[in-house]
Amino acid sequence: MRRAFIAGNWKMNLEKGSAVELAKALVDGTRNITDRDVLICPSFPLLPIVNDIVSGSNVWLGAQNMYYEKKGAFTGEVSADMLKSVGCEWVILGHSERRHVFHEDDSLINKKVKSAIEQGLKPILCVGELLEERESGKTEEVVKRQVVEGLKEVSPEDTAKIIIAYEPVWAIGTGKTATPEDADSIHSFIRDILRDLYNSKVSENMRILYGGSVKPENIDSLMAKDNIDGALVGGASLKADSFLRIINANIQS
């Protein structure tokens, strides 16, 4: 049985005051949670202050990106060690905004995945197709390429440190969600890829999150699907009440 995982991606939102308020409300609201993992990923400048609030609680801290080099002349970038030093356990890699706004390709994302693991951070590898790719029947081809390239040279043992998030780009921030059935079938396709790349244990143990307009209204039907193990939530993670409702989703046993 895979443990459920609910992650909030704050993106480039919230300043110190509202971040502190939200983090405190989430720590309070998750006090009694024992059966699922909860993660928040604030922007870089907020990490230390949010870490002070969440450390020792049921809320994990993660970052939204990192660079693969350890240190040096890379203006504007941050390393895995820097993120760990401010309490991060997780890092989102290959988010569609990194791929499409900042032109990150599969090879760069793969370097980041390997570097994160080597340096003790756990990657959430995001994959997902554009609307035009879906409409031209290329969803599986694109998702397969992103999974295979993203995990290149990652050992079967190290896959245990990774989570995959399937986020169809056309569903992110648009209010359009993939139907639970559509998402489940892509998740199941990702498990087939993992079985071919590794083995059935890796395929069965991998937690695969769905992301793209996840809201209090649709989380239960998404979580009801066998292959959906959690959610990567953008907009609805910025308010304590909506994110707590998502965190408290019904989980089928």
CB of 10 to ligand PGA, least distance (A): 10
Which is nearer to ligand PGA, 236 or 244 (by Cβ)?
A: 236
| Shortest Cβ 89–ligand PGA spacing (Å) | 18
Q: In angstroms, rounded to a whole number, what is the distance separating the alpha carbons of residues 63 and 90?
A: 6
- Among 97, 133, 167, 187, the one annotated catalytic: 167
Q: Among this protein's residues, is 95 annotated catalytic? A: yes
Nearest residue to ligand PGA on Cβ basis: 234
Cβ at position 139, least distance to ligand PGA in Å: 17
The least distance separating ligand PGA from the CB of residue 173, rounded to whole angstroms, comes to 4
> Are 237 and 246 in contact, with CB atoms under 8 Å apart?
yes
Return the number of the residue (53 or 233) whose C-beta is nearest ligand PGA.
233
**Catalytic residue status for 100:** no
Return the number of the residue (40 or 202) whose C-beta is nearest ligand PGA: 40
Please answer whether residues 62 and 7 qualify as being in contact, where contact means their C-beta atoms are separated by less than 8 angstroms. yes
Nearer to ligand PGA, 73 or 101 (CB): 101
Nearer to ligand PGA, 19 or 236 (CB): 236
DSSP symbol at 123 = E
Check: CB of residue 119 under 8 Å from CB of residue 81. yes
**Catalytic option among 95, 129, 133, 187:** 95
Burial 104-135 (b: 16+ CB within 10 A, else e): bebebbbbbbbbbbebebbbbbbbbbbeebbe
Q: What sign results for the dihedral spanned by CA atoms 216, 14, 55, 83?
A: positive
**Cβ distance 41 to 8 under 8 Å?**
yes
CB of 172 to ligand PGA, least distance (A): 4
Using CB under 6 A, list all residues that contact ligand PGA: 9, 167, 172-173, 211-214, 232-236
Q: Rounded CA gap, 40 and 9, in Å?
A: 6
* Active-site residue list: 95, 167
